[in-house]
Amino acid sequence: MSIAIYTKNEKQSQKWFEALNSNLPNETIEIYPNISNSNLVTFLVCWKPEKGLLDKFPNLKAIQSLGAGVDHILQYHTIPSHIQVSKVVDDNLTHDMWEHSMSIILADMKNLHIHSKNQKIKNWKPKRYKRIKDISIGILGLGTIGKYVASQFSNVGFKVNGWARSKKEISNVDTFIGKSGLNSMLSISDYVVNILPLTKETAGIINSDFLSNMKSGSYLINIGRGQHVVDEDLLSIIDSGHVRGAALDVFHNEPLPLESPFWAHPSIVITPHVASLTHINSVYPQVVENYRRVKNEQILLNLVNLSKGY
């Protein structure tokens, strides 16, 4: 049995190697492509595995995503049912998603981007700001992260609505399901925060139909995946003025290509996929535990439901 590590960043792979090696000193742990015997690899620890990577390990038993999402694994690979796939579930990552969206919303409510532009041209220009108690937030996706983000917003005094595939009970959060539920939620939300997993069903969900159902003057925050958004539809609805702007952390192609019209758009705030970043120190214990579970033929922690795709 051996562990293979795959990331596109050598330093990152090395850090993972050190964390796993110091906790599993008697195991063979190798960084791809330097794998001495690919037949022995049973546990693949990875982020954005290249197409066909899984076929190189015929005796694989489990795949550990190094992030909360698994779309980067499932999009290029059909996983046989005997292989378990696990995602990261980490309180720090979950909380970071809330802090990021909260910062975007507060900065927008208090006009910080406008004041910062005015400061550059020494323009003293007071502008009315908004108050938390008057703002409604709509959360798309009520999994572990979405539920937490919804509750945190509600705890600080926002009105919060949430939309998910199946009905969820969250105290002080109104939840919606189905297409008509989605439109109802969009029509009353001042800010819509996308935290959906990327699956065949959710790809392209933020299209012109969705965007035209958003409340007039509302604002989109995308911390899910770039592929949830039809970029041209987003640009045209913002240019029409119906949606006031967007804060985008994730994109179809990352890094965001230089020629993307998002970069220079005055109503779009770009962040480089930093809403939450995996910290090895808080995440390695679940990866180590999962390897032990693979060895003991047990069910992994944070197992992905392959038919749902998250």
- What residues are labeled active site? 225, 273
- List the beta bridge partners of residue 31: 5
- Minimum distance from residue 162 beta carbon to ligand OXD (Å): 20
Please report, for residues 109, 152, 190, the alpha-carbon distance to residue 84 in angstroms, rounded to integers and kept in the order given. 44, 32, 40
The footprint of ligand OXD on residues 277-306 (CB under 6 A) is: 278
From first CA to last CA, the distance across the chain in angstroms is 27
- Minimum distance from residue 100 beta carbon to ligand OXD (Å): 11
C-alpha dihedral sign at 29, 33, 37, 41: positive
Q: Which is nearer to ligand OXD, 69 or 141 (CB)?
A: 69
Q: Which residue is nearest to ligand OXD (CB)?
A: 67
x-marked contacts with ligand OXD along 239-278 as a string, rule CB under 6 A: -------------------------------------x-x
The footprint of ligand OXD on residues 149-208 (CB under 6 A) is: none
The binder of ligand OXD chosen from 49, 69, 146, 162 (CB under 6 A): 69
- Minimum distance from residue 282 beta carbon to ligand OXD (Å): 13
Is residue 68 involved in binding ligand OXD (CB under 6 A)?
yes
CA–CA distance, 277 with 15 (Å, rounded to integer) = 14
List, in sequence order, the alpha helices (H) in 110-161. Answer: 112-120, 144-155
Q: Which is nearer to ligand OXD, 158 or 251 (CB)?
A: 251
Please report, for residues 42, 261, 295, 308, the alpha-carbon distance to residue 168 in angstroms, rounded to integers and kept in the order given. 36, 37, 35, 17
Contact, 149 vs 91, CB < 8 A? no
Angle at 138 between CA 260 and CA 133, to 5 degrees: 115
Which one of the spans 67-75, 114-122, 207-215, 288-296 is the region binding ligand OXD (CB under 6 A)?
Answer: 67-75
Q: Which is nearer to ligand OXD, 94 or 218 (CB)?
A: 94
CA–CA distance, 286 with 67 (Å, rounded to integer) = 12
- Minimum distance from residue 101 beta carbon to ligand OXD (Å): 14
Contact, 161 vs 174, CB < 8 A? yes
Helix (H, G, I), strand (E, B) or coil at 181: helix
Q: Which is nearer to ligand OXD, 71 or 174 (CB)?
A: 71
The binder of ligand OXD chosen from 67, 141, 146, 162 (CB under 6 A): 67
- Minimum distance from residue 69 beta carbon to ligand OXD (Å): 3
Residues of this chain that interact with ligand OXD (CB under 6 A) are: 67-69, 276, 278
